[in-house]
Chains A and B, each alone.
Chain A
């Protein structure tokens, strides 16, 4: 039996939209959908949670995080870990040969290594190999900045962005980084980031939701008589 991901009776919260429509999604819905989609695209559960976090963070700041994640997962799904993760050395984080880094993996690893010799500290720059959809890097840098009192300069051939928690700089960074696949120079500076205001929630396109939903469906198990039989009450519901 084939099952559309838009079944009226499913225990799932993302909306049922016709092509061309858009919808507001809550952060909880975005985090949940994007986590499942990332898992369906091959990320580990823990990394998939990070993808959910990043997408919901962007949404909270008025940016269509699901669209960016979908675009990245379209390109990266099924790639083995060694083709997604950086080779970490002090001052130099390399991309896999012939590949662009996964921005979620990169963002998470930058957070993991913060303060360690190979990682971000105020002052020295890190040269980072090509990064896919670097907009998804912003939530990790913004979180790190708020925890460690750092602001970040990102530079790449033909462009630059500042991640300092400000609304205007965030909007500019998103525009500048949108659709790029570039090597980055990342520099942390000591400084207190601004408290960003939460932007109006963007409308999410049906196509984005459907694509993420299709990836999320890969985490599910087709029905069998045994699974249907075990799910509910063994006595009738009417009383």
Chain B
């Protein structure tokens, strides 16, 4: 069960950042993974509970076609990744949702699949969107090879050699997932039916487990193909090189609306992270162990920033800012007076003055890193039961509603929606592929079918509608007279108790960057190497540097 953060200690309230700072898109677009990221939560639990992963089935031929099963025993429960490998011609490989074939397709089965289950899944999982799965399945996913690196690794291993370190670093993964669906999609089990299981209570744990097991599969497949090609000469991938490989992920606009559509959930993610930062800042002193941990984390952050490449014009200067800031931070930490009162808060305040947004968010991440004992319990607050906040309080007066608007949506009410640049875009769903897209209002058709994602403008419209109404009137009466405001009134009431429920920016402005939304969400997943391929399409890496299932419990951090 998710715990509420409403009872957080007042001693940390002084050190919490306000939503007006945290929820700006420009800052969300500098987000860094932290120890509260979802893949880190999964790995901590796997280590703590001694999860056992076994490859129980490997029926894959010399061409790389067939299936495999990875069984994970987590306490009383078992989850099994069922992987189908395909021999896909190069010309059929696309990461878009419009693709129809993939190098590998996967499902996470709830339990131990029988041969009949495997047969059923073989008929459906490779079809992805065109197939159906059942309540026995928790996710549906697919991945494509990084063709060049995959070939290089297989060729090298087959010759009895290790692959080139630089080649591995350049790509960072053998396969990238192009979709990992959970939450009841395609007939899978509903989130609500599994959310009470302790190991799945934190957000996106089935998705993270799926990707972690996919990572093991990608290396196993490469080693298998090398052994088929090289026979006795072939070698396995060196453990350290293997660690450097994550799972790539390609994602686009489809992910962007999620944060807007789940205000309570987003609030809980943000609030947990912000409370963690506040707890660290509120400490009176710094232990030698924590200081050493900070330095280790900073070293890892610098190594990650050094290896992070992108050619995108928005991302290039951001990576430069980050590298510059991390050098400055490193120099400052070396000389920092940790004996002063509240040394962590002093360091944070220094960072706010001295660092760019990129550096500040990186500082947050490295400050949390050595404080697991202090902050890891906040992982239990990051899930959300959205049902209780769905009902609208119809008894609220117009006066109270307007006060709530002014208090929580002042940022929105100050936007002038009569200027073309502030209404330049519109979000819509494409008829052709049913995927979310972003259109230009001035030049593209379809604005009448706009999705309600620009909360700022909806709030401004509500404010205008309320101006002529009696302050004693009830929200129920307003809703009966103006049903079009139900959607945003629900949000205003949610925002009253969820300070981080809204992104404080205009999501239809001409200069809005969808990749900022993506980076924020992906950082909560634990993604690294954020690499935009356009202003609305990104590549990232998951689990890079993390232990493999056969190493769990035998490694150091992370």
Name A residues whose Cβ lies closer than 8 Å to a Cβ of B.
1, 3, 7-13, 15-16, 23-29, 44-47, 49-50, 53, 81, 85-86, 88, 105, 108-109, 111-116, 119, 143, 147, 201, 217, 219-224, 226-228, 230-235, 237-239
Contact A147 B391 (CB under 8 A): yes
Contact A220 B490 (CB under 8 A): no
Contact residues of B: prevailing secondary structure: mixed
Answer whether residue B429 sits at the interface, using C-beta atoms and an 8 A cutoff: yes
Give the nearest-CB partner of A105 in chain B: B483
Given A8-B130, A227-B444 in contact, is the A220-B434 Cβ separation under 8 Å? Answer: yes
Residue pairs across A and B with Cβ atoms less than 8 A apart, 7 shown, are A13-B129, A24-B135, A26-B135, A45-B487, A220-B430, A226-B439, A227-B437
Answer whether residue B534 sits at the interface, using C-beta atoms and an 8 A cutoff: yes
Stretch at the interface among B23-31, B38-46, B73-81, B246-254: B246-254
Q: How far is the CA of A143 from the CA of B388 in the complex (A)?
A: 10
Given A109-B479, A221-B439 in contact, is the A232-B187 Cβ separation under 8 Å? Answer: no
Provide the B408-435 mask, 1 if CB < 8 A to any CB of A, else 0: 0000000000000000000011111111
Stretch at the interface among B14-22, B93-101, B211-219, B297-305: B93-101
For the complex of A and B, 10 pairs with smallest distance between CB atoms: A46-B486, A26-B184, A28-B184, A112-B394, A221-B446, A46-B487, A223-B432, A112-B476, A220-B431, A233-B533
Residue of B130, B149, B183, B430 with most chain A CB atoms under a 10 A cut-off: B430
Answer whether residue B210 sits at the interface, using C-beta atoms and an 8 A cutoff: no
Q: Which chain A residues border B184 with CB–CB below 8 Å?
A: 13, 26-29
Q: Which chain B residues border A44 with CB–CB below 8 Å?
A: 483-484, 486-487
Stretch at the interface among B4-12, B105-113, B188-196, B274-282: B188-196
Given A3-B432, A24-B187 in contact, is the A119-B476 Cβ separation under 8 Å? Answer: yes
Which of the residues A7, A12, A231 comes within 8 Å of B253, measured between beta carbons? A231
Q: How far is the CA of A221 from the CA of B439 in the complex (A)?
A: 10
Contact B187 A46 (CB under 8 A): no
Q: How far is the CA of A22 from the CA of B97 in the complex (A)?
A: 26
Contact A11 B433 (CB under 8 A): yes
Q: How far is the CA of A47 from the CA of B98 in the complex (A)?
A: 31
Q: Which chain B residues border A116 with CB–CB below 8 Å?
A: 394-395, 474, 476
Q: Which chain B residues border A221 with CB–CB below 8 Å?
A: 428-431, 437, 439, 445-446, 449
Answer whether residue B452 sits at the interface, using C-beta atoms and an 8 A cutoff: yes
Which of the residues B252, B434, B439 comes within 8 Å of A232, measured between beta carbons? B252
Q: Which chain B residues border A223 with CB–CB below 8 Å?
A: 430-433
Answer whether residue B544 sits at the interface, using C-beta atoms and an 8 A cutoff: no
Contact A9 B98 (CB under 8 A): yes
Nearest Cβ on chain B to A23's Cβ, whole angstroms: 7
Answer whether residue B349 sits at the interface, using C-beta atoms and an 8 A cutoff: no
Stretch at the interface among B64-72, B140-148, B201-209: B140-148
Given A9-B97, A231-B253 in contact, is the A217-B129 Cβ separation under 8 Å? Answer: no
Q: Which chain B residues border A201 with CB–CB below 8 Å?
A: 135
Q: Which chain A residues border B192 with CB–CB below 8 Å?
A: 27
Nearest Cβ on chain A to B492's Cβ, whole angstroms: 11
Which of the residues A29, A108, A111, A230 comes within 8 Å of B437, measured between beta carbons? A230
Give the nearest-CB partner of B476 in chain A: A112
Q: How far is the CA of A24 from the CA of B474 in the complex (A)?
A: 41
Contact B185 A111 (CB under 8 A): no
Give the nearest-CB partner of A88 in chain B: B480
Contact A49 B487 (CB under 8 A): yes
Contact B394 A15 (CB under 8 A): no
Q: How many residues of B contact A (CB 8 A)?
A: 76
Q: How far is the CA of A221 from the CA of B429 in the complex (A)?
A: 6
Q: How far is the CA of A232 from the CA of B474 in the complex (A)?
A: 46
Given A46-B483, A231-B430 in contact, is the A26-B394 Cβ separation under 8 Å? Answer: no
Q: How far is the CA of A129 from the CA of B394 in the complex (A)?
A: 22
Nearest Cβ on chain B to A112's Cβ, whole angstroms: 3
Give the nearest-CB partner of A46 in chain B: B486
Q: Which chain B residues border A222 with CB–CB below 8 Å?
A: 431-432, 445-446
Q: Which chain A residues border B147 with CB–CB below 8 Å?
A: 238-239
Seed contacts A13-B129, A223-B433, A226-B439; 10 additional CB < 8 Å A-B pairs: A9-B100, A10-B435, A26-B188, A46-B487, A46-B488, A49-B390, A85-B483, A116-B476, A220-B434, A231-B437
Nearest Cβ on chain A to B417's Cβ, whole angstroms: 18
Answer whether residue B536 sits at the interface, using C-beta atoms and an 8 A cutoff: yes
Q: Which chain A residues border B390 with CB–CB below 8 Å?
A: 49, 53
Q: Which chain A residues border B252 with CB–CB below 8 Å?
A: 231-233
Contact A224 B449 (CB under 8 A): no
Answer whether residue B443 sits at the interface, using C-beta atoms and an 8 A cutoff: yes
Nearest Cβ on chain A to B37's Cβ, whole angstroms: 24
Answer whether residue B537 sits at the interface, using C-beta atoms and an 8 A cutoff: yes
Contact A234 B129 (CB under 8 A): no
Answer whether residue B489 sits at the interface, using C-beta atoms and an 8 A cutoff: yes
Contact A28 B437 (CB under 8 A): no
Q: How far is the CA of A6 from the CA of B439 in the complex (A)?
A: 24
Nearest Cβ on chain B to A134's Cβ, whole angstroms: 19
Q: Which chain B residues border A114 with CB–CB below 8 Å?
A: 394
Which of the residues A53, A85, A220 comes within 8 Å of B449, measured between beta carbons? A220
Residue of B97, B187, B431, B475 with most chain A CB atoms under a 10 A cut-off: B431
Q: Which chain B residues border A108 with CB–CB below 8 Å?
A: 479, 486
Give the nearest-CB partner of A201 in chain B: B135
Contact B534 A234 (CB under 8 A): yes
Q: Which chain A residues border B479 with CB–CB below 8 Å?
A: 108-109, 112
Q: How far is the CA of A24 from the CA of B449 in the complex (A)?
A: 30
Q: Which chain B residues border A1 with CB–CB below 8 Å?
A: 432
Contact B130 A16 (CB under 8 A): yes
Contact A113 B476 (CB under 8 A): yes
Answer whether residue B485 sits at the interface, using C-beta atoms and an 8 A cutoff: yes
Q: How far is the CA of A46 from the CA of B453 in the complex (A)?
A: 12
Nearest Cβ on chain A to B89's Cβ, whole angstroms: 11
Which of the residues A13, A50, A88, A105 comes within 8 Å of B186, measured between beta carbons? A13
Q: Which chain B residues border A45 with CB–CB below 8 Å?
A: 452, 486-487
Answer whether residue B90 sits at the interface, using C-beta atoms and an 8 A cutoff: yes
Q: Which chain A residues border B187 with CB–CB below 8 Å?
A: 15, 23-26, 29
Nearest Cβ on chain A to B64's Cβ, whole angstroms: 17
Q: Which chain B residues border A12 with CB–CB below 8 Å?
A: 129, 434
Q: How far is the CA of A211 from the CA of B130 in the complex (A)?
A: 19
Answer whether residue B402 sits at the interface, using C-beta atoms and an 8 A cutoff: no
Nearest Cβ on chain B to A66's Cβ, whole angstroms: 14
Q: How far is the CA of A239 from the CA of B147 in the complex (A)?
A: 6
Contact A238 B431 (CB under 8 A): no
